[in-house]
Amino acid sequence: MMDMLLMIIKAFAVGGVLCAIGQVLILKTQLTSARILVGYVTAGVILGALGLYKPLIDFAGAGATVPLTGFGYTLAHGAIEAVRSEGLLGAFTGGVVAAAGGISAAVFFGYFAALIFKPKMKS
């Protein structure tokens, strides 16, 4: 029970810090949300390539894999593994194959939410 509570606290803390950094960037810079999102994905790729993101995942679990930095890490890790096993073609397919479950879930739940809720125009 205590192990699970500690895991939840670590995930909440790391995920919260990543989200807080994004919020500070939105509030204190002229960067658009889209540029910040791309920056997070790119940061995940770079930190993964440097070997710094895997220890964070081991420490925080979902607190490190759910934010966009985790998506970038998954894309890069999948591409690297696919290049090792399939050659150059793996550089183009590996990332998408590795992230396919998350991408499919996002599409499914986005479509499901669109069916349930009535969209409104911004005024």
Establish if 76 belongs to a structural domain.
Answer: yes
Q: What is the pLDDT of residue 121?
A: 77
Establish if 44 belongs to a structural domain.
Answer: yes
Q: What is the pTM of this model?
A: 0.80
Q: What is the pLDDT of residue 120?
A: 78
Q: Give the whole-number percent of the chain exceeding pLDDT 70.
A: 99
Residue range 23-50, pLDDT digits in tens: 999 999 999 989 999 999 999 999 998 9
Q: Which residues, 6 or more positions from 59, have their beta carbon under 8 angstroms from its beta carbon?
A: 10, 14
Establish if 26 belongs to a structural domain.
Answer: yes
- Domain range for 74 is 2-116
Q: Which residues, 6 or more positions from 121, have their beta carbon under 8 angstroms from its beta carbon?
A: none
CA 52, 95, 17, 58 dihedral sign is negative
Establish if 121 belongs to a structural domain.
Answer: no
Establish if 13 belongs to a structural domain.
Answer: yes
C-beta separation of 95 from 75 below 8 A: yes
Q: For the chain, give the mean pLDDT.
A: 92
Establish if 122 belongs to a structural domain.
Answer: no
> What is d(CA 97, CA 74) in angstroms, rounded to the nearest whole number?
10
Q: What is the pLDDT of residue 14?
A: 95
Q: Based on the structure, what is the number of domains in the chain?
A: 1
Mean pLDDT of the 79-101 span: 92
Integer CA distances (angstroms), 77 to 12, 41, 74, 110, 119, in order:
24, 13, 5, 26, 37
The pLDDT of residue 122 is above 80: no
30-39, 42-51, 63-72, 113-122: segment of lowest average pLDDT:
113-122
